[in-house]
Structures are given as structure tokens and as C-alpha cells.
Amino acid sequence: MTGLEHLRADFPVLRREIGGKPVHFLDSAASSQKPVSVLEAMDEFYRCCYANVHRGAYTLSVESTDRYEAARTRVASFINAPDPDQVVFVRGATSALNLIAHGWGGTHLRAGDRILLTEMEHHANLVPWQMVAARTGARLDFIPLTPEYRLDLEVFEDKLDDDVAVVGVTGMSNVLGTIPPIPRIAEAAKGVGALVVVDGAQLVPHQPVDVQSLGADFLVFSAHKMLGPTGIGALWGRPERLEEMEPYEGGGEMIADVQLHSSTWAAIPHRFEAGTPPIVEAVGFAAAIDYLEKVGMDQIAAHDADLTGYALDRLAQVPQLSVYGPAGVEGRGGVISFTLADVHPHDLATILDQHGVSVRAGHHCAKPLMRHLCVPATARASFYLYNTRADVDALVAALGTASDLFGVG
Amino acid sequence: MSLEELYREVILDHYRNPRHRKPLDRADAHAEGVNPLCGDEVTVELTVADGTITDVAAIGQGCSISQSSASMMTDAVLGKRIEEVRELIHRFKAMMDIDREVDLGLDPERPGAVLGDLEALQGVRRYPVRIKCANLPWTTLQEALDQLSDS
């Protein structure tokens, strides 16, 4: 037990009851709940100082711009980026990966280049690369998984050669919970001059991340998975890599000068922020980071590990339940995918919901990984700082009911 | 009746003991349906004589909602005239529409298994993502009927 239970009071939605039972929210890997401080920061900002950013020579716009840029500074300090201008606000991790794939890949990849991804990528770090590969003639290649659900680093190193132009890897699998050793992967990839792209959507909300020791060229993540609002995320990039990248969207805000037939771009990061940005969402994002840092990312990681270990132990005692992911908590985050005998995961999720237990069921936007696991879908429980052992106990109890119902065991 | 009881009594019965699951030797129509969201699959086969469904099969794999819906559907349409079946599809889909309350309008002489069983699926309306599962066999049946009218 890591004593974060008092935090639950900060999350209004956790007071809800579903079917007369308290909600046990176990789907933070899809999106997290929001503390009052984030809700209030956004509400207060709308009431006191909201206006569009960057263009207005009036007080409200100046204040709004200050808050928006202060949020950028806040995000930068959270991942220890040396300069806030290395942080681009985007719609979320998916749009960041599209920007990198099209904006960098679209102009740098050549026929015969290889894009090396992993077998456990979310569709967001796969489909954009497929699109760019089709356009440029680059080829996709994949780092396989070991039987222990970890990346096979020997095969990875065998596959690395001068043709590898991009190495794209998740910081934490949203299905298996696997946390690959990014610094080691990045160092090897750098040896062949490859661009290293890390999908941090699952990692950044749950572990301390320092871009100065990570070794990546790009790191992307979404606010809504780390207590912040939907509609905003961040792309961190090394300055020289950001310079190499072409903007993907044109419009207002991203230009230096516009002629009828051509334009020049604004400086980085605004070059990549066409149109009115998610201003209030940026303020909420900063408030979420304030909250996370007040709790402490080390404490959050320890709490996740404690709950994950407890859950793995308890789930191991459920007859005919299969867990897909590394056996221990080492190199593994708080995401547990499972199936129960031949019960379809969608049936399982519906039954669990009857007991107030919210889990996700489906392919988790990782269809190639589902095929690798030879299952059409899994159920998935995921933890965050507001979850407790009581949530795990409720999950296990509800699984018992589902087993009885479906005649398992 | 809670959803759990529905699962126990009706849905699971059809899921574990699906009716009319054997492919037909000779089919006048054959349609395949897939729900890309969850991978449910249903194949519907029909034989028709004088505008009446004389034999039916629904073969597939997936969750209990899609497969039990397929099984109940075969019971419900066998021996019915095509226009009656089209009306039944319409009524079933209306029943699964969360915003509508409908009279199922089935034959009061033999409501029995048909009315009771199909009604069991109404409980899944609370779960919009599962409505697609329940509707899949019916959408596939509609495609099979469309093949008949095309040919």
C-alpha cells in the first residue's frame, strides 16, 4: 500500500455509483479522470482572462497568451526539456505522430529506407508510417516480441543497419504494459543515424521522464491520459530535428509572411501550431502537471507498481484466466490485459460493468498485436494514482461472478 | 429482470446451444457480416420457396450477444414470408434503437420462444457498443434478402 487513497476525494467522478455500486474505474490507459484543480483552473481561466492568443494588442489577449506560453514552459520542465520552444502543442499523441511521420518522414524518407517499429505499437504509431511508406517507397520492419512479452533486442540489433531511417517505439505498451529500455534502444539507433520516435502516451503519465537522458529525437504524449483535458498533447523534439520537419498544417499563427503564391514559416514551435490552439486546454494541462508533481512522479510509479503486483498475484488465482504481459512488475506498467476461458471480452466487460467495474474490452487499437497473441480481443484493466486495492478486489470478485455465469472452472 | 439474469436465462442458452448453425446443402442466398469493432462474424444462408423461408442457417463466431441474436433470429424467421421477415428486421432494429419504444408486433398465437427470446436482447440497449453485436445477424439477413430480390 502506498497511501495515495486520500487523493480519491479530488476526483468527483469517483463518487459515482453504477447500478447502485461504487464505480471502480480501471480504464485510465484509455483516458484518465480529472481532479477538481484541473476543472477549476479551466473554468477560472474562461471566466477571468480568456481571449485568443498571440495577435491581440489588448489586455485579455496578452494575459491569455501569457498563460498559454506558461503552460508550454510547465510541460517543458515536466520532461526536463532545456527550452520551452522544444515543446509543440498538438491535439494529442496521435496528431503528433502524424506530424512527425508526414512532416519529417514525408520529406526525409527515400525508397529503400526502412522504418523500424515494434509489434506492439498502437495504431497511432503504425498507420501514419504505413501512409508515409506508401508515399515515399520506404519499407516497414518490426522488432518482434519475446515469449515473455518483451522486445527482442537481439533481433533489433541484427536488424539495425544504415538503411534504417526511423526507429519508432512505444514507451509503454497500452496492451501488455511492457516498458522497453528506451535509452538502450535509442543509443543503438543513433549508431546508424536513425531518427528515434517515442510514443510516450502511456509512459509519460506514469513514470518520471527526462528527455535529456531518454536519447530520443521526438517524444509525444497526450494530456487526457495524465489528468488533463482532451484535445491537447505535446510533441517534444530536439531543436535540429524540429528544424528538419516541415509543417503539416498551414493556416494562421504558423506563418512569418504570406504572399498570394507562397509563404514563409513562423519560428518553432509556432510553425507547427496552425489555427487557434487549444488555449484553455493548455491551462488545464499545466494544472494537471502541477497536480502530478505535487504527488510526485516517483510516488505515482511506486503506487502503480504496488497495485500491478497485487493485481497480478490476485488474477493468477482466478481459474482459467490468462494474462498477456510480462510476469513481474519489473519493466512493466499498470496495464493488465486478460481473457477468461472462452468468454468473449465484450461479454466480460458488460458483466463487470454490472458490478461497477469499468474495464476496456477490444483490440485496444493494436490489431497486429492481437493477431500475434492469437486472440480477437482482450479485456484490460489499467491503474492510476486514484486506484486502490479495493478496485482490484472488486475486479476479482466480479470475475468470479462472470465465471459462474458462463460456467467457467 | 437484470441484464445478468437475461444473460443467464436466454442469451447464454442460445450462445451455448445455437439453433440452425449447420450450413445448408443448398442456399438461395448467402451473406457474410463482420463487426470490425470487435471481430464478430455471422454468415446467413436461406432457402426460399414461394416467397417463404423454408430453411435458414446462421454460422459465426464472436460474443454471446451477436451469436445468441443470430440463433434467436433463425428461430424467428423460419417459415415466415419474406415480407414478414423484412418487417421483423425493421421491428428488431427499432427495438434496439435506444431512443424508441416499440410494439414488437409478433404473432400473438405463437409468441412463445420468439417473442420472449428476442426481447431478452433489449437489455443490451444500455450498451450502445453492444447494439452493433445484436444487430449484426439482422443486417446480414437483410443483405441475404436483398440478394433474393436482386436475382
At B91, the amino acid letter reads R
Q: State residue B103's pLDDT score.
A: 56
Q: State residue A328's pLDDT score.
A: 93
Q: State residue B6's pLDDT score.
A: 64
| A133 & A249 share domain | yes
Better-scored residue on pLDDT, A90 or B150: A90
Label each residue of chain A as H, E or C: CCCCHHHHHHCHHHHCEECCEECEECECCCCCCCCHHHHHHHHHHHHHCCCCCCCCCCHHHHHHHHHHHHHHHHHHHHCCCCCHHHEEEECCHHHHHHHHHHHHHHHHCCCCCEEEEECCCCHHHCHHHHHHHHHHCCEEEEECECCCCCECHHHHHHHCCCCEEEEEEECCCCCCCECCCHHHHHHHHHHCCCEEEEECCCCCCCCCCCHHHHCCCEEEEEHHHCCCCCCCEEEEECHHHHHHCCCCCCCCCCEEEECCCCEEECCCCHHHCCCCCCHHHHHHHHHHHHHHHHHCHHHHHHHHHHHHHHHHHHHHCCCCEEEECCCCCCCECCEEEEEECCECHHHHHHHHHCCCEECEEECCCCHHHHHHHCCCCEEEEECCCCCCHHHHHHHHHHHHHHHHHCCCC
Residue A271 is assigned to a structural domain of this protein:
yes
Query: A333: domain CATH number?
Result: 3.90.1150.10
| A283 & A346 share domain | no
Contact A118, A169 (CB under 8 A): yes
User: Residue A364 pLDDT more than 50?
Assistant: yes
Residue A41 is assigned to a structural domain of this protein:
no
Alpha helix segments (H runs only) across chain B: 3-6, 12-16, 64-77, 82-96, 112-120, 128-150
Exposed/middle/buried for residue A393 (C-beta within 10 Å: 0-12, 13-18, 19+): middle
Average pLDDT, chain A: 96
Residue B98 near chain A (CB below 8 Å) = no
User: What is the distance between the alpha carbons of residues A30 and A190, in angstroms, rounded to a whole number?
Assistant: 31
| A192 & A304 share domain | no
Better-scored residue on pLDDT, B6 or B40: B40
Catalytic residues of A: 365
Residue A37 is assigned to a structural domain of this protein:
no
With beta carbons under 8 A apart, name residues in chain A contacting B4.
Answer: 351, 354, 401, 405
Among A238, A191, A201, A193, residue whose Cα is nearest residue A216? A238
| A193 & A240 share domain | yes
Task: Tally the domains of chain A.
Answer: 2
Name the domain boundary from A293, A308, A324: A293
Q: State residue B39's pLDDT score.
A: 78
| A302 & A184 share domain | no
Model confidence at B12, pLDDT cuts 50, 70, 90, reads: confident
With beta carbons under 8 A apart, name residues in chain A contacting B8.
Answer: 405
Q: What are phi and psi of A34, to 5 degrees?
A: -120, 135
Strands lying side by side in the sheet with A139-143: A87-90, A233-237, A218-222, A195-199, A164-170, A114-118, A139-143
Average pLDDT over residues A58-87: 97
Residue % of chain A over a pLDDT of 90: 91
**Cβ neighbours of residue A87 closer than 8 Å, sequence gap 6 or more:** A72, A75, A76, A81, A234, A235, A236, A269
A13-60 per-position pLDDT tens digit: 999 988 788 999 999 999 999 999 999 999 999 999 999 998 778 999
Model confidence at B111, pLDDT cuts 50, 70, 90, reads: very low
Average pLDDT over residues A280-297: 98
User: Residue B151 pLDDT more than 80?
Assistant: no
Residue A248 is assigned to a structural domain of this protein:
yes
Model confidence at B3, pLDDT cuts 50, 70, 90, reads: low
Contact B2 A401 (CB under 8 A): no
| A303 & A230 share domain | no
**Cβ neighbours of residue A146 closer than 8 Å, sequence gap 6 or more:** A152
A311-347 per-position pLDDT tens digit: 999 999 999 999 999 999 999 999 999 999 989 999 9
**Cβ neighbours of residue B48 closer than 8 Å, sequence gap 6 or more:** B28, B29, B54, B82, B148
- The partner residue sitting opposite B63, judged by closest CB among A344, A405, A407, is A344
DSSP-derived 3-state class of residue B56: strand
Residue B132 near chain A (CB below 8 Å) = no
Q: State residue A409's pLDDT score.
A: 73
**Range of weakest confidence among A7-21, A87-101, A218-232, B89-103:** B89-103
Owning domain of residue A116: 49-293
| A274 & A302 share domain | no
With beta carbons under 8 A apart, name residues in chain A contacting B16.
Answer: 407
Q: State residue A56's pLDDT score.
A: 78
Average pLDDT over residues A372-395: 95
Residue A289 is assigned to a structural domain of this protein:
yes
Residue A380 is assigned to a structural domain of this protein:
yes
Beta-ladder partners of A322: A339
Q: State residue B94's pLDDT score.
A: 83
| A163 & A18 share domain | no
Query: A196: domain CATH number?
Result: 3.40.640.10
Residue B60 near chain A (CB below 8 Å) = no
User: What is the distance between the alpha carbons of residues A186 and A198, in angstroms, rounded to a whole number?
Assistant: 9
Domains defined along chain B, listed by start: 3-150 (3.90.1010.10)
Residue A350 near chain B (CB below 8 Å) = yes
User: Residue A357 pLDDT more than 90?
Assistant: yes
Q: State residue B89's pLDDT score.
A: 92
Chain CA centroid to CA A309, Å: 22
User: Residue A63 pLDDT more than 90?
Assistant: yes
| A66 & A93 share domain | yes
Q: State residue B100's pLDDT score.
A: 62
| A251 & A313 share domain | no
User: Residue B124 pLDDT more than 90?
Assistant: no
Name which of A21, A346, A360, A401 to mutate to probe chain B: the one with the most chain B Cβ atoms within 10 A of its Cβ: A346
| A378 & A400 share domain | yes
Average pLDDT over residues A161-178: 98
A125-157 per-position pLDDT tens digit: 999 999 999 999 999 999 999 999 999 999 999
Residue A406 near chain B (CB below 8 Å) = yes
Residue A34 is assigned to a structural domain of this protein:
no
By C-alpha distance, the chain A residue nearest B13 is A406
Residue A288 is assigned to a structural domain of this protein:
yes
For the stretch A242-245, contacts whose Cβ atoms lie closer than 8 Å and that sit 24 or more positions apart, written own/partner, are A242/A86, A242/A88, A242/A268, A242/A269, A242/A272, A243/A268, A244/A104, A244/A107, A244/A108, A245/A99, A245/A100, A245/A103, A245/A104, A245/A107, A245/A272
By C-alpha distance, the chain A residue nearest B4 is A351
DSSP-derived 3-state class of residue B34: strand
DSSP-derived 3-state class of residue B49: strand
Contact B127 A353 (CB under 8 A): yes
Q: State residue B113's pLDDT score.
A: 41
Name the domain boundary from A293, A328, A359: A293
Average pLDDT over residues B22-39: 90
Number of Cβ within a 10 Å radius of residue B133: 29
User: What is the distance between the alpha carbons of residues A264 and A259, in angstroms, rounded to a whole number?
Assistant: 9
A259-274 per-position pLDDT tens digit: 999 999 999 999 999 9
| A311 & A246 share domain | no
At A356, the amino acid letter reads G
**Cβ neighbours of residue A194 closer than 8 Å, sequence gap 6 or more:** A116, A160, A164, A165, A166, A167
- The partner residue sitting opposite A344, judged by closest CB among B37, B64, B124, is B64
B48-78 per-position pLDDT tens digit: 999 999 999 999 999 999 999 999 999 999 9
Residue A367 near chain B (CB below 8 Å) = no
Exposed/middle/buried for residue A226 (C-beta within 10 Å: 0-12, 13-18, 19+): buried
Strands lying side by side in the sheet with A321-324: A321-324, A335-340, A378-382, A360-362
Radius of gyration of chain A (CA): 22
User: Residue B136 pLDDT more than 70?
Assistant: yes
